[in-house]
Amino acid sequence: MSSDDFRPRGLARESAAFPPLGGSAWPVAQDRFERLVSTVTVPEPPEAVWTALTDPDRVAHWLAVCRGPWAVAGRESMLDFEDGEFFWCRTLTATAPRAQRPGTLRLLWRWVGVGPATAVTWTVAADPAGSVVTVVEEADNPPSDWRSWNGMGWPGILDQLAAHLRTGTSWRWPWRRVGPYLQIPLPVPAYRAWQELTSPAGVQHWLQRMTGTLAAGEDLVLVMGDASGTVQMHVTRSVEAAQEFPSYLPYLEFELRRPAWDAALGGRLWIEPAGLETSLLQVCHFGWENLDIPDPLTERRILTGYWTAAADRARALFLPQGPPAGPHGWSMAAAAPAMPAGAAPAMPAGAQDPSAVAQFLGRVTDDLATAMAGVLCALGVRLGLFAALGTAGPATATELADRTGLSQRHLREWLRGLTSAGYLEHDRGHDRYALPPAHAAVLAFEDSPLHLAPGFALIPPLAAAVEDVADDFRTGKGLERSAYSEQLFTAMEHMSATWLEQQLTEQWIPAVPGLLPALEQGGAVADIGCGGGLALIRLARRFPACRLTGYDLHEPNVRRAREAVREADLADRVTVAAADAATALADAGPLRLVTLFDVLHDAAAPEDLLRTVRSALEPDGVLLVLESPAADDPADNAGPQATVLYATSTLYCLPTALADGAPGHGTLGLPPSQIHRLAGEAGFGRVEEVPTGSPFTALYALRP
């Protein structure tokens, strides 16, 4: 054999075709604090990758054991690492790759079932080299170390998948140096939570202390809560609030010792804010490699079980402490009515499974109660009752009547109804009703980015249209907008105000590369389907060098928008026209920005409208399209958000679109694949998805 066979260049070529198992995945984007994107390219086709990702038997080889219906939309399951730690998952979307369409697996998961929920989206796309696998994890108000932990973890997980695909063998860690690591959400601010948790009574309750204190240098004996006995905690460091730069947050460092261990296990316990009036308690262990014990997995399971139970006890410290629901302290809500001995409940003809019928009856009862609570909430929004409770604090029915000038007797019934629904809390001793701070963020404060109260205002006008919609079901001709109460359009405007006021100019536009400085320089802007003019006014105030025109076909909307523009003293730069934008824009260019907010799915001729906008834009102009987040396969649109959007579509969007001669896509009728298709046919060269931070909106930036 010639020595040339071993020359370096030949070996380099051969080794390039045989990459190592590890090190091929890396984080490619950390584009905002709450979002991580990691990717890996594998030589296998998308179908093979999808099988390894969704087949429970395959997943068990490279990630974790699947318990329950894994990768089934709308179902819950567990990814069990078999060391005491797991992900509790709810699958939102599971769409296999087909032809040129990527596969998408989207789920929510909670670490050990108690941590904050994060959204994880796997995408499997075809690539000339095989497949590109991308994972996006998103979190709302994550802990400060979330990006560090998860940013380091995802490349390893993707490498495990790639190695399994290439070799077919298992590559899972049986146990890790760190863990258990628990995150425990608490419904109170961080400093109050820490004070309660570290008080003598709090320590005894949630840590199950037998002896000792949390003072530095002290030893505590904790009851594990099962047959495993006790554990000794030695506090090595205790830092109170406002004592240590830079966070000034309190924390503890400690060591744990058990009779079966020959060394101590390190630990840290700390807390930090996690949003409005909430906090996150975190516990982490380290140093497992220092323990020379024969069965570390069993010890990890025991310790995880202890902290999981402790998490429940910690949360219980901050729950409302009302009287017991039943005579002996347990709830009687699910108790069945007494029946004669030997009798069986009467079942409808064709009902084969009494337990299934009873279960669904409970579901329908819950849904009916939710619907009725929604009507009470709509009443509260109309009368300003949530704002009255959220701003001025708890009140008796009489005090709330004094605040609002409303009937005390009517208010008492409303307060009792929403207390039974869990929206309000009742202090029986003082007969006062309170709107908890977390609820107030959603219901009372219009400047909150989480404000959703206007959604309840949609209920009365949509319900009032049911008879007309029922007739339209029979004819299929559609309904004119004039058939609907003006309250509906006002409610829609208030609903969209939550994101248009808080996010349009502060988050969405800055997220589109180059758009913010372009608008600051000036230019012409058009808002198609401008409604009451909210977006127009917001854009005009933020970008004083721009001239703006709003278009709307509904005359009452045009009147309201013009009045709003006059009141905002912007009539010199903002014009509102009662016109079809598809015609009017033909002579309106060149435009720097065009917006279509919840309009395209209702448009009479969406393809023609997009072509007109494309022609009217400047070469560097942008079209922003806001739609509802939809799955490419309608069967994957499931859950509460989809229910709200489908109901709105059935009662309003579809009938009015059909009356305009539109295709009638419906509120969820323009998923990403459709947006890309329509944009391409209209001549747009690029389509970028812009994160919105809202479960009800999907935003796209289209460029020529």
Count CA within 13 A, CB hemisphere, residue 227: 1
User: In sequence order, which ranges of 393-542 are alpha helices (DSSP H)?
Assistant: 397-404, 408-420, 437-443, 454-457, 459-464, 466-475, 486-502, 509-511, 515-521, 534-542
pLDDT score for 22? 58
Position 59 scores a pLDDT of: 95
Tell me if 157 sits within 8 A of 174, measured CB to CB.
no
Using one digit for the tens of pLDDT, what is the confidence trace for 53-79? 999 999 999 999 999 999 999 899 999
Is the predicted pLDDT of residue 355 greater than 50, yes or no? yes
Q: What is the mean pLDDT of residues 615-619?
A: 92
pLDDT confidence of residue 151: 64
Domain ranges of the chain: 20-167, 178-316, 359-445, 485-703
Cα separation, 372 vs 423, whole angstroms: 13
pLDDT at 138 over 70: yes
* C-beta atoms surrounding 680 within 10 Å: 13
Cross-strand partners of 125: 132
Tell me: the pLDDT tens digits for 631-681?
A: 888 888 777 778 888 888 888 888 888 888 888 888 888 888 899 999 999
Rounded distance between C-alpha atoms, residue 450 and residue 276, angstroms: 10
pLDDT digits over 224-255, tens only? 866 568 899 999 999 988 888 777 889 999 99
Q: Model confidence over 260-300: pLDDT tens digits?
A: 888 999 999 999 988 778 899 999 998 888 888 877 888 88
Q: With bands split at pLDDT 50, 70 and 90, how would you rate the model's confidence at 221?
A: very high
Q: 178-316 adopts what CATH topology?
A: Alpha-D-Glucose-1,6-Bisphosphate; Chain A, domain 4 (3.30.530)
Q: What's the count of helices (H) and strands (E) in the chain, helices before strands?
A: 25, 24
Q: In the predicted model, is pLDDT for residue 7 greater than 70?
A: no
Distance of CA 164 to the CA centre of its chain: 31
Please write the tens of the pLDDT for every residue from 432-442.
999 988 888 88
- Which range of 3-17, 142-156, 311-325, 347-361 scores highest in mean pLDDT? It is 142-156
Report the CATH fold assignment for 485-703.
Rossmann fold (3.40.50)
Identify the weakest region by mean pLDDT among 137-141, 224-228, 358-362, 476-480. Answer: 224-228
Average of per-residue pLDDT values in the chain = 84
Predicted confidence at residue 30, as pLDDT, reads 46
Query: By the 8 A CB rule, do 28 and 39 touch?
Result: yes
Q: Which amino acid is at 32?
A: R
> Looking at residue 561, what is its pLDDT?
92
- What are the two backbone dihedrals, phi and then psi, of residue 560, each rounded to the nearest 5 degrees? -65, -40
- C-beta separation of 515 from 622 below 8 A: yes
The rounded distance, in Å, linking the Cα atoms of 658 and 663 is 7
- Taking only Cα atoms into account, the Rg of the chain, rounded to an integer number of angstroms, comes to 29
3-state DSSP call for residue 561? helix
Question: How far is residue 39's CA from residue 33's CA, in Å, rounded to a whole number?
Answer: 18
Q: Tell me the C-alpha distance between 538 and 546, whole Å.
A: 12
d(CA 176, CA 69): 27
Query: Mean pLDDT, to the nearest integer, of 318-346?
Result: 45
* Greatest pairwise CA separation for the chain in angstroms: 102
Kindly state the percentage of the chain with pLDDT values over 90: 38
User: Is the pLDDT confidence value at 32 over 50?
Assistant: no
* pLDDT single digits (tens) 500-546: 777 888 888 998 999 999 999 999 999 999 888 989 999 999 999 99
Reduced to 3 states, what is the DSSP secondary structure of residue 424? coil
Q: What is the pLDDT of residue 27?
A: 60
What is the pLDDT, as a whole number, of residue 647? 84
Looking at the structure, give the CATH architecture of the domain made up of residues 359-445.
Answer: Orthogonal Bundle (1.10)
Q: What is the mean pLDDT of residues 95-114?
A: 90
Task: Give dist(CA 435, CA 425) in Å, integer.
Answer: 6
Asked if the domains 20-167 and 178-316 are classified in one and the same CATH topology, the answer is yes
Prior bond of 180 cis (ω within 30°): yes
Q: Look at residue 375 in the predicted model and tell me its pLDDT.
A: 87
Q: Enter the DSSP assignment of 116.
A: P
- Residue carrying the six token digits 């859950």: 639
Q: What percent of the chain has pLDDT over 70?
A: 88
Cα(476)–Cα(478) distance, rounded to whole angstroms? 6
For 528-559, b/e burial (b = at least 16 CB within 10 A) is bbbbbbbbbbbbbeebeebbbbbbbbbeebbe
The fold adopted by the segment(s) 20-167 is: Alpha-D-Glucose-1,6-Bisphosphate; Chain A, domain 4 (3.30.530)
Q: Contact 125/131 with Cβ under 8 angstroms? A: yes
List the beta bridge partners of residue 623. 594, 702
- pLDDT digits over 680-689, tens only? 999 999 999 8
